Amino acid sequence: MSEPEISAPQRSGAFCAQHADQRAATLCNRCGNYACEQCFRVAYDRQDYCTECLPRIQPPLAGRRARFAAVVVDQIALIAPIFVCMLLGILLSNGSGTGMISLGLGALGSLGVVGYQFYLLASVGQSLGKRTMGIKVVRTDGTPVDLARLIFLRNVVPVIIGMFTWNLFNLIDTLCIFTEQRRCLHDHIADTQVIVVNNTDA
């Protein structure tokens, strides 16, 4: 039975720079200090950083045009099943309720798109639109966003606030993209930001 692979810092007997009694698991890609399992994170660039350096790692923020284009793509993906099914219902309608059936199928298709979008966001931090534009959602420290934060803090809470403010919140939320941080109000609520993951951003 083969022994489990041991990382280079552990083989050399190095210890964590912050916890002298803990074996080092990796080297910080920024400061070069050893870090144990508790003291490092994998950042947006997939490199290891100690928890002291991680807040100083600034990913390139997504541009306003890229974020707007991503929203447009996501909206098109959402309404496309309903539109296509309604069109087919009109073309195939024979007075026997085909139109209502097609509308129902379209609604189910849109729900499927919503579910797939949340799956993509939870697994890779990208919706269909964000993937198209080469951008993704992460926490402000560069770490992935969990599904609960994506659904409730980034989506449900803003919707509820918008309902109680007669959509004034939604207007301000959108305009906040023009601030220096390029973070909307829902980003501040959820402690998220949208970053570039390749060079397609504008």
**Mean of the pLDDT values across residues 55-61?**
81
> Could you tell me the CA-to-CA distances from 155 to 134, 149, 158, 168 in Å, in that order?
21, 9, 6, 16
pLDDT of residue 12: 59
Q: Against a cut of 0.85, is the pTM above it?
A: no
Reported as half-sphere exposure (CB side, CA atoms, 13 A), residue 176 has a value of 15
Read off the pLDDT of residues 95-135 as tens digits, 9 standing for 90 and up: 566 767 877 888 899 999 999 999 999 899 999 999 999 99
Give yes or no for residue 93 having a pLDDT over 80: no
**Low-confidence winner among 12-26, 46-60, 67-81 (lowest mean pLDDT):** 46-60
pLDDT, one tens digit per residue, over 138-170 is 988 778 899 899 999 999 999 999 999 998 999
3-state secondary structure (DSSP) of residue 156: helix
DSSP E strand boundaries for the chain: 26-27, 34-35, 40-42, 48-50, 135-139, 192-196
